[in-house]
C-alpha cells in the first residue's frame, strides 16, 4: 500500500526487490490526489489499484480512536497488507523554506501514516521524508514513533545517503522503518534492517548516469531540453566559453549578486561528480546547478529521471500517442522532481526479504489474523 504515491518511485523499488526474490507484488491501493502522477503510476503498474484522492479521505479517524466507517471500508478493500509505504508532502519541513513553514498544516499528513498503520496493521511501515522533518513544530516524527510502538512495532529512523545506494546524486532522506514485533525474526531489530547504505561502494558520477544520453535522438519532449530564454543562453555561453562551473556574480541577476550562499544556482554540473539533488526545477538554470556538463542546456526529463535512479523501462511519457501527450512537460518535471529514487526501497525491501520479514504470500504465516478479528470487534462496538 502506497500513500502519497506520486508516480510510484517507492513502489518501483519494492517491485524490483520482489522481482529479484521471485515474489509477485500486489499493490492493493496507491493514493495520490494529483491526476498527473496517478496516470504515470497506473501506466507502470497496470494491475495496481491506483486511486486519485486525498489520503485523509481513506484514513479519517483520530489516532487511537475506533475505526471510522470510511476506514472500515478502506480495510475491507485492501485486506492484509505486508508493507505500507508513504512519502507525505515535505515542503513545509524543507530547510529551503523559512522557519514559520515548519508549522505548515501539511506536515500533519505525516501522522496519517501512523493512522493508516493503526487501521491496516501491516507487517512493515516505511515513511520517507526530508531530513528537516525532525524539526517540525508538531513533532510529527516522535509522535508517530510513540504511536507505532504502542501498536506493537519496533521502530528505527535513519538519515540515508542515497549516494551510498548507487544513486548518482547528493540526496539524503529521513527514513522511518517500523516492523511489527510478531514479524521480526529472532535476533533482528528494525535498526538492523534499516542498515542499507553500502559503505564500500564508490559513488556513481554523472557520466555513469547519463553519459549515453548525450546525443540521443528525441522522440518526445522527454529527451528534449527546455529552450532557455535569452538571459540563460547568454549565461550558459559564458560558462562554456570560459570553462566555468559557477557563474560569477556579475553575470547573475542584480538580486542574486553580493553576499550569497547560492553558488550552485546558475551552475553547470560536472561529469565526474554526482549531481546535486534533483528538484522539479531541473530544466531551469536559475533553480539550481542544472546545466548539462557537456552542452549549453539544462537537463532533459530523461536525464533527470536517470539521476533519480529510474530505469528506462519506467514510462513517464507515452511516446506512442504523439503528438498529443497526456501530460505536459511541466507535469513530468514535477513528477520526476517529487519522486523518491527507487534504489532506496529496493535496498530496504531486499533486507526485509533476506531476513524473512516479508515473504511470498503462499508461505507466509497468517500473523495478522488476530488483528483483523480485533478490528471487526471494534467496528461491531
Ligand X SMILES: C[S@@+](CC[C@H](N)C(=O)[O-])C[C@H]1O[C@@H](n2cnc3c(N)ncnc32)[C@H](O)[C@@H]1O
Closer residue to ligand X, CB minimum distance, 12 or 269: 12
Q: What is the DSSP letter of 291?
A: B
- List the one residue from 1, 10, 27, 347 that touches ligand X (CB under 6 A): 10
Residue located via cell numbers 546524486: 169
- List the one residue from 21, 26, 28, 34 that touches ligand X (CB under 6 A): 34
Angle at 176 between CA 182 and CA 169, to 5 degrees: 135
Q: Please, are residues 320 and 326 in contact by the beta-carbon 8 Å criterion?
A: no
| Position 331 contacts ligand X (CB under 6 A) | no
Separation between Cα atoms, residue 118 and residue 347, nearest integer Å? 25
Extract the C-alpha cell encoding 282: 531541473
- Other C-beta atoms closer than 10 Å to the C-beta of 185 total 11
Beta-bridge mates of residue 268: 291
Separation between Cα atoms, residue 89 and residue 110, nearest integer Å? 8
Query: What would the x/- binding string for ligand X be over residues 96 to 135, using CB under 6 A?
Result: -------------x--------------------------
| Position 31 contacts ligand X (CB under 6 A) | yes
CB of 6 to ligand X, least distance (A): 3
- List the one residue from 1, 6, 82, 314 that touches ligand X (CB under 6 A): 6
Report the first-to-last Cα separation within the chain, whole angstroms: 27
| Position 337 contacts ligand X (CB under 6 A) | no
| Position 338 contacts ligand X (CB under 6 A) | yes
Looking at 33-41, 68-76, 245-253, 363-371, which segment touches ligand X (CB under 6 A)?
33-41
| Position 239 contacts ligand X (CB under 6 A) | no
- Residue 90 annotated as catalytic: yes
Instruction: Single out the catalytic residue among 90, 255, 298, 381.
Output: 90
Looking at 1-9, 162-170, 230-238, 268-276, which segment touches ligand X (CB under 6 A)?
1-9
| Position 274 contacts ligand X (CB under 6 A) | no
Separation between Cα atoms, residue 240 and residue 244, nearest integer Å? 6
Nearest in space to 84 (alpha carbons), one of 47, 41, 129, 115: 115
| Position 55 contacts ligand X (CB under 6 A) | yes
Nearest in space to 319 (alpha carbons), one of 297, 292, 301: 301
Angle at 118 between CA 141 and CA 12, to 5 degrees: 70
| Position 37 contacts ligand X (CB under 6 A) | yes
Closer residue to ligand X, CB minimum distance, 5 or 239: 5
- Count the site residues for ligand X by CB under 6 A: 21
Q: Please, are residues 364 and 35 in contact by the beta-carbon 8 Å criterion?
A: no
Residue located via cell numbers 511519457: 317
- List the one residue from 160, 269, 285, 340 that touches ligand X (CB under 6 A): 340
CB of 184 to ligand X, least distance (A): 25
- Catalytic amino acids? 90
Residues that bind ligand X (CB under 6 A): 4-10, 31-34, 37, 54-56, 87, 89, 109, 338-340
Amino acid at each position: 500500500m502506497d500513500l502519497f504515491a506520486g508516480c510510484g518511485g517507492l513502489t518501483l523499488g519494492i517491485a524490483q526487490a520482489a522481482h529479484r526474490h521471485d515474489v509477485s507484488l500486489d499493490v492493493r491501493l496507491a493514493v495520490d490526489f494529483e491526476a498527473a502522477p496517478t496516470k504515470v503510476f497506473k501506466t507502470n503498474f497496470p494491475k495496481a489499484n491506483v486511486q486519485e484522492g486525498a489520503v485523509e479521505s481513506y484514513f479519517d479517524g483520530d489516532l487511537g480512536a475506533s475505526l471510522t466507517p470510511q476506514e472500515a471500508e478502506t480495510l475491507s478493500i485492501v485486506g492484509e497488507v505486508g508493507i505500507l509505504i508513504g512519502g507525505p508532502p515535505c515542503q513545509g519541513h524543507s530547510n529551503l523554506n523559512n522557519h514559520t513553514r515548519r508549522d505548515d498544516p501539511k506536515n500533519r499528513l505525516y501522522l496519517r501514516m501512523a493512522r493508516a498503520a493503526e487501521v491496516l496493521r501491516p507487517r512493515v511501515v516505511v515513511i520517507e521524508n526530508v531530513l528537516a522533518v525532525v524539526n517540525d513544530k508538531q513533532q510529527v516524527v516522535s509522535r508517530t514513533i510513540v504511536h507505532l510502538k504502542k501498536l506493537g512495532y519496533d521502530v528505527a529512523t535513519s538519515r540515508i545517503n542515497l549516494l551510498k545506494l548507487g544513486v548518482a546524486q547528493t540526496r539524503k532522506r529521513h527514513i522511518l522503518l517500523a516492523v511489527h514485533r510478531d514479524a521480526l525474526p529472532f535476533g533482528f531489530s528494525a535498526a538492523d534492517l534499516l542498515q542499507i547504505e553500502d559503505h564500500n561502494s564508490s559513488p556513481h558520477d554523472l557520466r555513469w548516469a547519463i553519459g549515453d544520453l548525450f546525443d540521443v535522438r528525441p522522440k518526445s519532449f522527454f529527451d528534449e531540453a527546455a529552450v532557455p530564454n535569452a538571459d540563460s543562453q547568454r549565461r550558459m555561453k559564458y560558462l562554456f566559453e570560459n570553462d566555468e562551473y559557477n557563474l560569477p556574480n556579475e553575470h547573475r541577476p542584480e538580486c542574486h549578486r553580493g553576499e550569497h550562499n547560492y553558488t550552485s544556482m546558475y551552475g553547470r554540473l560536472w561529469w565526474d561528480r554526482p549531481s546535486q539533488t534533483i528538484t522539479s526545477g531541473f530544466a531551469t538554470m536559475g533553480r539550481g546547478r542544472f546545466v548539462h556538463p557537456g552542452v549549453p542546456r539544462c537537463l532533459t526529463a530523461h536525464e533527470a529521471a536517470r539521476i533519480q535512479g529510474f530505469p528506462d523501462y519506467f514510462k513517464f511519457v507515452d511516446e506512442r500517442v504523439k503528438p498529443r501527450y497526456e501530460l505536459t512537460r511541466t507535469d513530468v518535471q514535477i513528477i520526476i522532481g517529487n519522486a523518491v529514487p527507487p534504489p532506496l526501497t529496493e535496498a530496504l525491501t531486499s533486507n526485509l526479504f533476506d531476513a524473512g520479514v516479508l515473504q511470498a504470500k503462499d508461505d507466509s504465516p497468517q500473523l495478522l489474523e488476530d488483528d483483523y478479528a480485533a478490528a471487526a470487534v471494534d467496528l461491531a462496538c
